Chain A
Amino acid sequence: MKSFAPIVIVLALASAYGFWYQRSRGKIRVAHTAADSALNAAILGEPLGSRATLVQFSSAFCTPCRATRTLLESVVAEMSDVRHVDIDAEEHLDLVRKLDIRSTPTTLILNSQGVEVGRAVGAPKRDQVLTALAALR
């Protein structure tokens, strides 16, 4: 028995999800995190930047993680007061659960106190990262 109903439904739903996926990935969203849930060097295993820290969560099965790493490394290379920390999500599942990281790459933007002020799910855009960092003193 031939039926076209399943394929029409699947392609329609997948297309709707795909457009949302492409629009939402990489966009930096403002986070309103409580100051007492700040991250620090002891949690991250690396020191924070004096003005800001970009905390990237990566995994093995993630193609855009590499491009994100290259982008963020080049951004912080020009700023002595901003650091980039790349964390293997698989090795830090407790932190992943606590911060509710659901996919990779996810990049957190921390202020000087280690408080999350923004978050990008998917590979972020350079100009958006620069804008977010410029807002931090």
Chain B
Amino acid sequence: MTQATSKKVSHTTVTIDARGPRFSAAITVVVLSIALITNSIWVLAFQALVFGIGALRGPQFTPYSVIFRKFVRPRLKGEVPTEDVRPPKFAQTVGLVFALVGIAGLAISAPIIFTIATSAALAAAFLNAAFNYCLGCEIYLLLLRLR
């Protein structure tokens, strides 16, 4: 990550429709719920793929975001709220880590790891969808402080 100056936070960043990540989080809640209820490694693997696209390319390139742009956004009225792409991209990265840990858990026959990791990702997605929770705001600084 590069900052333009030492004191001010850089302002020159890509911005996206802020409603997109929140809609995507709602779909993520449904998919992770199915994974958790059915203990399915394949459902979690699909979500890991989606998290991977969001984490590496950006949250505006996931299949959920395509659904949002094609079917949801044309029906929304009012001013378009924008947000910096980096916070939702960070959240997708955290989701990817949890999903990969969950997949590894089932792969090594430790279903409790699958349940805990999937639950953590589900909680974060649910908080984002229902309460507009900002994961990066809450955990990034704590992670930095551990250094």
Contacts and interface: CB of A to CB of B under 8 A. Distances in A.
Helix, strand, loop or mixed for chain B's interface?
helix
Given A14-B123, A18-B131, A60-B1, A4 B37 contact: yes
A102 B141 contact: yes
Contacts of B83: 63, 66
Given A6-B36, A88-B6, A102-B142, A61 B137 contact: yes
Interface of A: 1-4, 6-7, 9-11, 13-15, 17-19, 21-22, 45-46, 58-66, 86-91, 93, 96-97, 101-105, 122
A60 B9 contact: yes
A89 B33 contact: no
Interface stretch (B49-57, B60-68, B84-92): B84-92
Contacts of A13: 123
Given A45-B7, A61-B86, A91-B3, A1 B126 contact: no
Contacts of B118: 6
Given A6-B119, A60-B1, A63-B83, A91 B131 contact: no
Given A13-B123, A14-B126, A45-B7, A103 B145 contact: no
Contacts, number: 126
19 contacts: A4-B37, A9-B119, A10-B119, A14-B126, A18-B133, A58-B9, A59-B136, A61-B137, A62-B137, A63-B18, A63-B84, A63-B137, A66-B83, A66-B84, A86-B8, A88-B7, A88-B8, A102-B145, A103-B138
Given A61-B140, A64-B137, A15 B147 contact: no
B39 A2 contact: yes
Contacts of A4: 37
